Amino acid sequence: MAKIYFSEEHEWISVEGGVGTVGITEFAQEQLGDVVFVELPEVGATIDKGDDVAVVESVKAASEVYSPVSGEVVEINEELADAPGLVNQHAEGDGWFYKVDLSDDSELDDLMTRAEYDAFVEGLE
Amino acid sequence: MNEIHVAASAPVGTVTGNRGLIVEEPLIFEQGTDTGSGVDLPEPFDVPDRLGDFRRTGPIGLPGLAEPQVVRHYTRLSQKNYSIDAGFYPLGSCTMKYNPRLNEKIARTPGLGDLHPFQPVSTAQGALAVIHTLAGWLMELTGMAGVAMSPAAGAHGELCGVMAIRAAQEAKGNPRKVILVPESAHGTNPATAALCGYSVVAIPATAEGRVDIAALKAKLNDDVAGIMLTNPNTCGLFERDVREIAELVHGAGAFFYMDGANFNAIIGRVKVADLGVDAMHINLHKTFSTPHGGGGPGAGPTVFSEALAKFAPLPFVKKSGETFELVETRAQAGADAQPFGRMKGFHGQFGVMLRALSYAMALGKDGLKQASGDAVLNANYILARLKDTLSAPFEGPCMHEALFDDGFLKDTGVTTLDMAKALIDEGYHPMTMYFPLVVHGALLIEPTETESKQTLDLFIETMQALAAKAKSGDSEFFHAAPRLTPRRRLDETLAARKPVLRWSQKAD
């Protein structure tokens, strides 16, 4: 059963069998507006927690996406190249960015649960 | 096929769809014919054809038009444009001040306007005198020891400054790795640092919109090559701790680059040398009233402190006795100079320098001082009269621009963007929106010294009326704006996702 975590930089990571799927949250896509381009990391890249690993560009702004965990990128969402709008339609589903093979599961402890993240977002508004 | 469809202006009921003198203008490629021509060329000589298979077989794809058709096309396009000659242009951070006609008259003097850069230097002494004289003005106005005149724009001037900083650090044995850039700096600053091979470390702003000194202290170390500080900053505020910042930076063996894009707010009043600045570019196309916007040439001469002056790039003008020479090589530059290289072909944007010198000499030092005073007064007048209608994130007084956020639009369903679109219908170029990023939904208004109190009052009343309309719940009025432009809201998402970057023949 996948377990989902959230970061203060508005990324989500859904972890199952040591592999995490990463994307930006519903709140983040709402703030960004229509997404027009997503730059993804390369498969095989080794990333550290906090690295800027992707860029999401909307009609309003270009923002960096910081990796919530360390590990190796094992897959990227190729569909985003032709359909960046997926991020707006299904930010926390089909609009995922990349999958990462976690090198340190304990990093997940620093992230938030859904309820904690919802409260965090509420505090921002 | 052109896939981008945008709503045309509200219909006016004319037979043609034209709106008086505002004509629906097709692209020039849609008007010409393959065979038409505005030039009468003689038939080519009867020579043997050696092109063989390389001979073109299809049409060349250029529109064939008569001269009056071309003139009308571009004149009509220009009528759809907005300019400082047409009206108030309060685009914050851009300093859209009036371009005096005297500048243009001087620039059209045949002896200056018809010069060619390949002319022998002995026949261009007047032009070199212009560059040399303007260089003298810029050093006098800033109190700095040297100036590079060749940078061709503000960001090019930044590049010049940071390359000099890098050259100076290298001369000391270590180029270092980091440039510090406060959040309230211009967006070009981090780009410049990155282009020079430095990593950028951001310094946060305080709640009052200025550099956080404690954060700066924490980030200064032996890796820091320099800091790039915009002052006055993009919140329209003077960094009042600037001298302390300079001392801290110098204490760490780093250099102080000040982004001089907002020099128009302090010219004639502050000698930047007194602030501890090592390098600063000056946007002649802002502070010195030369035309810009729409891609016209700018110029970003960069002044240097004693510590950096010897690293300034080639070429520069030197006066020997009564003659001027253009120093183009390291050998010519002399033993003390260590120019880091060359930034541009020839000597920089001469036409812009000429207009800038015309402006400086027409106003004089006292006039320039009054210009900066009037620019700041105008911005504060706007801040004072609008701060209760709009919402001002920082306490005034401000410098040359007044910053508001979108707090006053809360729960109205109207955004900063909608407000800007509505302003277009009212006959104004909108202010800068969503910049600086440190406030939410920013509206940055820079009136410049150009505007009279009458113009400012009319603008203020317009803003008050629009704000009242937004607060009254009439969001539909804003969402439908602009109504009166040749095109209404563009579909920015579609344009970004499926850009049509060139015209192609429509299938018949």
Architecture label for domain B371-494: Alpha-Beta Complex (3.90)
> Using omega within 30 degrees of 0 as the cis cutoff, is the peptide bond preceding B291 cis?
no
Which residue does chain B place closest to A34, by CA atoms? B493
- Residue spans of the domains in chain A: they are 3-119
Count Cα neighbours of B380 within 13 Å in the Cβ-side half-sphere: 13
> Phi-psi bin for B341: left (phi > 0), alpha (psi -120 to 50), beta?
left
pLDDT in tens, B173-213: 999 999 999 987 788 999 999 999 999 999 988 888 889 99
Architecture of domain B102-359: 3-Layer(aba) Sandwich (3.40)
pLDDT of residue A124: 81
Q: What residues does A112 pair with on adjacent strands?
A: A6
Q: Which residues of B touch A85 (CB under 8 A)?
A: 493, 497
- Predicted local confidence at residue B8, as pLDDT: 59
Complex ipTM above 0.90? no
Count of CB pairs separated by less than 8 Å, A with B: 16
Q: Tell me: the pLDDT tens digits for B202-235? A: 998 888 888 999 999 999 999 999 999 999 988 8
For chain A, say whether B496 makes contact (Cβ under 8 Å): yes
Instruction: Extract the residue ranges of chain B whose pLDDT is less than 70.
Output: 1-11, 294-296, 506-508
Touching A: B residues 396-435, CB under 8 Å:
434
Residue B3 confidence (pLDDT): 39
**How confident is the model at residue B5, as a pLDDT?**
43
Average pLDDT of the segment spanning A56-67: 89
Q: Please tell me the predicted confidence (pLDDT) of residue B251.
A: 97
Q: What's the whole-model pTM score?
A: 0.88
Domain range summary for chain B, segments of one domain joined by +: 102-359, 371-494
d(CA B392, CA B408): 9
Give the closest residue to B138 by CA, choosing from B129, B146, B127: B146
d(CA B176, CA B202): 17
User: Which residues 6+ apart lie within 8 Å of B69 measured at CB?
Assistant: B31, B32, B38
Lowest-pLDDT choice from A56-60, A65-69, B72-76 = A56-60
Report the chain B residue with the minimal C-alpha distance to residue A84: B497
| A99 vs A63, more confident | A99
pLDDT score, position B506: 67
The predicted structure's pLDDT at residue B10? 61
Helix and strand numbers, DSSP H then E, in chain B: 16, 12
Task: Quote the minimal CA–CA distance from B27 to chain A in Å.
Answer: 26
CATH topology for A3-119? Answer: OB fold (Dihydrolipoamide Acetyltransferase, E2P) (2.40.50)
Chain A residue at shortest CA distance from B434: A60
- Do A85 and B434 count as a contact with CB atoms less than 8 A apart? no
Which chain A residue's Cα is nearest to B417? A60
Contact A34 B492 (CB under 8 A): yes
Confidence (pLDDT) at B7: 52
